Amino acid sequence: MSEDRVLRVGLLGAGVVGAEVARLMVANQVDLAARAGVGLIISKIAVRDLTVDRPGIDPALLTTDAESIVADPEIDLVIEVMGGIEPARTLILTAMAQGKAVVTANKALLAKHGAELFHASDLADVDFYYEAAVAGAIPILRPLAESLVGDHVERVMGIINGTTNYILTKMHETGASFQGALLEAQSLGYAEADPTADIDGFDAAAKAAILAGLAFHTQVTDEDVYREGIRAITADDVSVAKAMGFVIKLLAIAEANELHGSTEETISVRVHPTMIPVTHPLASVREAFNAVYVQCESAGELMFYGRGAGGTPTASAILGDLVAVARNRNEGSLGPTETDYADLDIAPIGVSRTRYLVRMDVADVPGVLAAVASTVAKNDVSILTVRQEGRGADAELVVLTHIATEAALANTVRDLRELAVVQRVVSVIRVEGLI
Ligand code: HSE
């Protein structure tokens, strides 16, 4: 293969994902070269610590000097899998300014500085691909940006954090507490020692921002995403949901508000625990798997399912991007760029509309139902079903509402808390997927 039929890659990071990218590039080099139409060679790998044992990686490629990779005129493309905001942001911007294409899996960086990075890649006329940043191996960004670009996306609803899905699956299937399921997820290596990014929804919110931006052709950052994690979900919440034919999932939802009859063209982007009927396609997504359910005007409903994390699955998405960039380069062309022409406003959470399940402890006395029903009605919220379980002098009342705004629901809960017969509003969980 002649020199100009080679694409030289600089790899920033050799952790779980980076090491797999390096391994697969060597293991599959013949096929990758045939598909890319050019040999794909790793020139250098930036790591933090040279002394770590990295089986299968040539130690001669390693350097702790990441800047030397993005400045190296011999390197054509940089794969960034170090994660975090800095130095990843500066390294990517420098690589682009040096005319290098960039492939990244960095969701946190894209959700914060996506607009700056897209602008920089446009300015430098280089490809910028990031399929691995959302839902690991699952091809979902290119389908949104390319296959579905002729359609009108109405809603994207996804399970895009495997750790929380594992925890919620264990709670649902074994009756485990949140803490018990979290400990199990940690012992199996799904959840990190500090699980905040996953269980408080930060990871899912970053991915939701990226999905929403592509689906609605609008700049969306992680700050635009309403976020609630799963820490407050109890074994009782799960068991009530289960008894009613629901499963609780941490869902990321990006939707056009016109879907709910609003005449204003705005979108809502939110991440929160959500009850969905066990018959919903997303309900069958178990353990650490991810899935993204897309609703389009013409295509109807689509679902993308697979492994959302892990070295090899994430490397699969990165290598797909690498081959795509190599093919573009052979043609002297670039892949599609981001479009944010729609520039839709992101509605505050109060405007979002969904159904809610409100659990409350009440005194089991005459008139309780009437008092609760009139408080709910006074706030313009309509009740779909009520379930009451007596427990001696007290009872648990479970109210499932029709679709209402978040603002109306918040007012309802505030007023319920003030009722003498309501001892405690135990939990409020949003409900999706009911026809
Ligand atoms: N920690 C993430 C998850 C994977 O549990 O899905 C990386 O985004």
CATH number assigned to the domain comprising residue 361? 3.30.70.260
The mean pLDDT of 38-54, rounded to a whole number, is 96
Instruction: Tell whether 297 and 323 lie within a shared domain.
Output: no
Instruction: Tell whether 157 and 63 lie within a shared domain.
Output: no
Q: What is the pLDDT of residue 136?
A: 97
pLDDT grade, residue 206 (50/70/90)? Answer: very high
Report how far ligand 1's centroid is from the alpha carbon of 308 (Å): 7
Q: What is the pLDDT of residue 392?
A: 79
Cβ of 316 closer than 6 Å to ligand 1, yes or no, is: no
Q: Longest Cα pair distance anywhere in the chain, in angstroms?
A: 87
Asked if residue 185 belongs to a domain, the reply is yes
Among 272, 307, 342, the domain boundary falls at: 307
Ligand 1 atom closest to 160 (CA): 6
Asked if residue 340 belongs to a domain, the reply is no
Task: Decide if pLDDT at 3 tops 70.
Answer: no
Please tell me the distance from the alpha carbon of residue 77 to that of residue 74, in angstroms, as a whole number. Answer: 9
| Residue from 81, 198, 287, 292 to probe ligand 1 pocket by mutation (most atoms less than 8 Å from CB) | 198
Ligand 1 atom closest to 163 (CA): 5
The mean pLDDT of 213-217, rounded to a whole number, is 98
Instruction: Tell whether 316 and 297 lie within a shared domain.
Output: no
Task: Decide if pLDDT at 2 tops 50.
Answer: no
The mean pLDDT of 13-31, rounded to a whole number, is 97
Instruction: Tell whether 108 and 174 lie within a shared domain.
Output: no
| Among protein residues, the one whose CA lies closest to atom 4 of ligand 1 | 309
Report how far ligand 1's centroid is from the alpha carbon of 319 (Å): 19
**DSSP character string of 163-218:** HHHHHHHHHHHH---HHHHHHHHHHTTSS-SS-HHHHTSHHHHHHHHHHHHHHHTS
Residue-range definition of the domain harbouring residue 223 = 141-307
Asked if residue 336 belongs to a domain, the reply is no
Instruction: Tell whether 79 and 164 lie within a shared domain.
Output: no
pLDDT grade, residue 4 (50/70/90)? Answer: low
* Average pLDDT in the chain: 96
For residue 35, how many other CB atoms are within 10 A of its CB?
Answer: 16
User: Tokens 């931006």 sit at which residue?
Assistant: 213
Instruction: Tell whether 256 and 163 lie within a shared domain.
Output: yes
User: Tokens 């990441």 sit at which residue?
Assistant: 66
Task: Decide if pLDDT at 1 tops 50.
Answer: no
Instruction: Tell whether 240 and 303 lie within a shared domain.
Output: yes
Coil/strand/helix, residue 88? helix
| Residue from 107, 160, 163 to probe ligand 1 pocket by mutation (most atoms less than 8 Å from CB) | 163
Asked if residue 345 belongs to a domain, the reply is no
Ligand 1 atom closest to 107 (CA): 8
Ligand 1 atom closest to 192 (CA): 1
Cβ of 81 closer than 6 Å to ligand 1, yes or no, is: no
Coil/strand/helix, residue 420? coil
The residues facing 101 across adjacent strands are: 77
Give yes or no for a contact between 54 and 20, defined as CB atoms under 8 angstroms apart.
no
pTM higher than the cut 0.85: yes
| Among protein residues, the one whose CA lies closest to atom 2 of ligand 1 | 161
Q: Spell out a b/e string for 143-182, using b for 16 or more CB atoms within 10 Å of the CB, else e.
A: bbbeebeeeebbbbbbbbbbbbbbbbbbbbeeebbbeebb
CATH number assigned to the domain comprising residue 224? 3.30.360.10
Report how far ligand 1's centroid is from the alpha carbon of 215 (Å): 21
Instruction: Tell whether 269 and 152 lie within a shared domain.
Output: yes
Report how far ligand 1's centroid is from the alpha carbon of 244 (Å): 29
Instruction: Tell whether 198 and 282 lie within a shared domain.
Output: yes
Asked if residue 346 belongs to a domain, the reply is no
Q: What is the pLDDT of residue 155?
A: 97
Cβ of 311 closer than 6 Å to ligand 1, yes or no, is: no
Which residues have a catalytic role annotated?
207
Asked if residue 339 belongs to a domain, the reply is no
Please tell me the distance from the alpha carbon of residue 282 to that of residue 295, in angstroms, as a whole number. Answer: 13
Ligand 1 atom closest to 191 (CA): 5
Q: What is the pLDDT of residue 62?
A: 97
Please tell me the distance from the alpha carbon of residue 46 to that of residue 13, in angstroms, as a whole number. Answer: 5
Report how far ligand 1's centroid is from the alpha carbon of 162 (Å): 6
CATH number assigned to the domain comprising residue 112? 3.40.50.720
- Percent of the chain residues topping a pLDDT of 90: 93
Asked if residue 338 belongs to a domain, the reply is no
Instruction: Tell whether 296 and 155 lie within a shared domain.
Output: yes
Instruction: Tell whether 20 and 66 lie within a shared domain.
Output: yes
Domain count, the chain: 3
pLDDT in tens, 302-345: 999 999 999 999 999 999 999 999 999 999 999 998 899 999 99
Instruction: Tell whether 79 and 207 lie within a shared domain.
Output: no
Cβ of 210 closer than 6 Å to ligand 1, yes or no, is: no
Asked if residue 121 belongs to a domain, the reply is yes
